[in-house]
Amino acid sequence: MYRLAAFDMDGTLLMRDHKIGGATLNALHQLVENGMILTFATGRHYIDMKGILSHSGINGYLITGNGTRVCDVEGEVLYGMDLPAELVEFVLQTPWQTRASIHIFRDDGWFTDCNDPALLTAHKTSGFQFQLTTLSALPLTGNHKICFIASHQELIELKTQLEQQMGGEADFCFSAVDCLEVLPRGCNKGAALERLSHRLNLTLADCMAFGDAMNDKEMLSRVGLGLVMGNALPQLKQELPQLQVIGRCEQQGVAHYLQHWLSSPHLTYSPEF
C-alpha cells in the first residue's frame, strides 16, 4: 500500500483555468481520509503554491522550484538548494544568442526585467506576480533557479549554448515547452521527494507520483508507482515507456485514476482519453 502521493501541478492537476477541478479535489480529500500523505511537486514558487492551495481548500507538503525547496504543511523549509553565486553571475553577464526573457526566483519572489502581463495569466488564482528589476542588481546568492522563456525551438538552441558553456555545473530542464530552467546540480523533483520521504520515515517505494513534463521524469521513474498523464510531452512518454499512461488533465485524469485505485486497486486500470 502506498503511503504518499506526489502530484505535479501544471498539466496534471491544474486545468486550463489554472484551478484544480472539483472531481480531482474530491479525490484528493478521499486520499487524506484514507491516511495518504499529499505532496505537491512543482516548478512554481512557494508563494504561488500557497495561494493556489488556499483557494482550493487543500494542503500538503510542498516541493517547489523543481526541487529547490521542500516545505512541510506549515510552510517550514525542510530543505533548500540554491545556484552557486559564480554561476548566477556567469549566466547574467554572458551575452547569450537568444531573444528569451530571463526570470530569477528567490525566497522573496519572482524577478525579471521583462514586463509581459501575459506571463501572469497562469498565476491568476494565487495572485503571484513578477517584480520588475534590473537583474544585475540582484544579490548573487539566494537564487533558487533561473528560467528562460521563449519558443521551444529557440530554447533548444539556447540549451545547447548553456550546456557548452557551463558543462556539468548546473542541470537544465524544460518545465514547459516554452520554459527552460537552470537548476542547481542534482536538483530535481525526484531527489527532493527522496529527501522528504526519508524525513517521513518512508522510501520512494512507498510513493506514487503523477506528472506530464520532463521536470517530472526523475520523480516518476524513481517512485513505487509512477503515472504519466495522457497529455504528457511525447519525450516523457518515450523515455518512460514502462509507466502507465492515464487520462488527460482536462478530463481530470488524476481523479479518474484515483477513484479506480481507491475502490478497485486489484483490477486493471483502463484510462479514458
4-80+187-264, CATH topology level: Rossmann fold (3.40.50)
> Is the per-residue pLDDT at 202 higher than 80?
yes
Q: For the chain, give the percent of residues with pLDDT over 90.
A: 93
Query: Which residues, at least 6 apart from 247, have a Cβ–Cβ distance to it below 8 Å?
Result: 229, 230, 253, 254, 256, 257, 271, 272, 273
Which pLDDT belongs to residue 15? Answer: 95
Which pLDDT belongs to residue 272? Answer: 64
Q: Is 10 annotated as a binding residue?
A: yes
Report pLDDT digits (tens) over 13-44.
Answer: 999 999 999 999 999 999 999 999 999 999 99
Report pLDDT digits (tens) over 126-183.
Answer: 999 999 999 999 999 999 999 999 999 999 999 999 999 987 899 999 988 899 999 9
| φ and ψ at residue 56, rounded to 5 degrees | -85, -15
85-184, CATH topology level: 3.30.1240
Q: Which residues are catalytic?
A: 8
> Is the per-residue pLDDT at 53 higher than 90?
yes
The full set of domain ranges for the chain reads 4-80+187-264, 85-184
Q: Is 8 annotated as a binding residue?
A: yes
